[in-house]
Homo-oligomer: A and B are copies of this chain.
């Protein structure tokens, strides 16, 4: 079964192709094994059930479909899905109406990274009709653009960091001594030009040789920047669990399992290494998944952002019996949209 991960090379006839296509479509829609008779009834293939049966038997021999029980209908194998995705599905593009609508919705949202990530997750879940997951983009290494100090109480200040990539972070800062807004502004005005454009490590080297407050502030600037270096767990959003609760595959306990996958980070850490930086969508079906925990699922993922600068990951997770057309077109479009948004933010 290991060599199943390679692309199928078998030649099958045009009629077999169209039958396979119908089986996949029908099974995805109904969730029940597909028989020869239902096929002739529901679609107008030009041939009789008997002919379909012969072709089905052949398709089964080649490993594209499978019988769950003797004399039950056929169900696509992972292999069959893969063939469908590669050769029969066509090029999945979201209807341009949907594209415009989504882009418009994003204009309504407050221009802020957090919001985008969360919103992307919910839009993706809805258009794909499955569970979605989106990580906040991660810069290779965060560099400071600006920071501000705002006095909240005599010994408590708000520190606001802005990176080159316009990621923003706020932190409370308990000060060692009493300072008012004027003093704090002076501290910021002095420090900012000296550390602009530097990474956390570079700033850390310069801490010595400044006053007590300044050292204190710098120290927290460094920790704050460090936090922006790596993917933050709270910055991974998922959405759309309700979409799979109805599916027969996920009766009760299995939905819990999916939540585990999403929340525990299993999905991400499993998929991450397999995600080549090739700029298109990647599809993992059943057995092909890089982790055993995902063997029963279909996963469609893409990275977004600007190569070498900021990159994030987004994608969907569903039963192997999912609409790959919807999923792929949705993921592809969302990745493109998020990349565009990053471009807007980053191009200085």
A contact set with B: CB distance below 8 Å:
110-112, 114-115, 118, 145-146, 148, 150, 152-153, 158, 160, 162, 166, 168, 170-172, 181, 227, 234, 241-242, 245-246, 251-253, 255-256, 259-260, 345, 347-348
Indicate if the CB atoms of A245 and B252 lie closer than 8 Å.
yes
Indicate if the CB atoms of B241 and A259 lie closer than 8 Å.
yes
Query: Shortest 9 CB-CB distances between A and B: which pairs?
Result: A111-B172, A242-B259, A245-B256, A242-B256, A148-B148, A146-B150, A245-B255, A168-B170, A152-B166
> How far apart are A224's CB and chain B's nearest CB, in angstroms?
9
| Nearest neighbor of A151 in chain B, beta-carbon distance | B146
Cα of A237 to Cα of B242 in the assembled complex, Å: 16
Asked if A162 meets B150 with Cβ closer than 8 Å, knowing A112-B170, A234-B115, A259-B242, the reply is yes
**Can you give 14 contacting A-B residue pairs, CB < 8 Å?**
A110-B227, A111-B171, A112-B171, A146-B150, A148-B160, A152-B162, A152-B348, A153-B347, A160-B160, A241-B259, A242-B255, A242-B259, A245-B252, A245-B259
| Nearest neighbor of A154 in chain B, beta-carbon distance | B348
Indicate if the CB atoms of A348 and B115 lie closer than 8 Å.
no
Contacts of A148 in B (CB 8 A): 148, 150, 160
